[in-house]
Amino acid sequence: MTLVQPSSRLDRLSDAPGELFVYGTLQFAVVLEALLGRVPAYIPASTPGWRAAALEGRVYPGLVAAPGTAAAGLVLTNLTDQEWTLLDSFEDNRYELREVALSTGGHGLAYIWPDGEVRPEDWDRAEFESLHLQAYAARCARIGPRLAAGEPKGE
């Protein structure tokens, strides 16, 4: 994998970004494999006070504050610096990378959706898997090598 230039979101973090909490499309091994060429180690977790919201016009969710709920997902525990940079380039520019509390008792980083286009219902993982996963993973397989080479993700 070629080293990519760090994005501004990662520049704001310490030299060791830590663990990444994923709650949407990055929970799927086929998506991680398409983007990174491997499936990083992970543990199941949730993040209290947040939900994975369906977003208007998008097949992927956004993590939004929701007191009294908890978004289920995975914590990716052994991402390399290059993988962090690639995933950061992959994520929509609207996301904010922030620390969140995890059900495991620790903290991790997560891509938070700031506002707008948030639908009242939660993102439906099963619906995504049955209707969109195959095409989404194929798209990730096309753009992953470009991101690894430091190119934009455009189709």
pLDDT in tens, 87-124: 999 998 899 999 999 999 999 999 999 989 999 999 99
Position 1 confidence tier, pLDDT thresholds 50, 70, 90? very low
CA–CA separation, 141 vs 58, rounded Å?
19
The pTM (predicted TM-score) of the whole model is: 0.89
Average pLDDT over residues 34-58: 97
Instruction: Pick 16-146's CATH classification: 3.10.450.50, 3.30.342.10, 3.10.490.10, 3.40.50.150.
Output: 3.10.490.10
- Mean pLDDT of all residues belonging to the chain: 90
pLDDT at 16: 56
The values of phi and psi at residue 153, to 5°, are -85, -5
The residue-averaged pLDDT of 37-51 equals: 97
Q: What letter represents residue 50's amino acid?
A: W
pLDDT > 70? residue 55: yes
- Closest to 9 (Cα-Cα) out of 107, 84, 62, 60: 84
Q: What is the pLDDT of residue 9?
A: 66
Given this model, what pLDDT does residue 54 score? 98
Across 17-35, average pLDDT: 95
What pLDDT shows up at residue 152?
78
Quote the pLDDT of residue 17.
Answer: 66
pLDDT over threshold 80, residue 73: yes
Half-sphere exposure of 123 (CA within 13 A, CB side): 31
As given in the structure block, the two tokens for residue 58 are 């998008």
Angstrom distance (rounded) from CA 28 to CA 11: 27
Identify the residue with better confidence: 152 or 143: 143
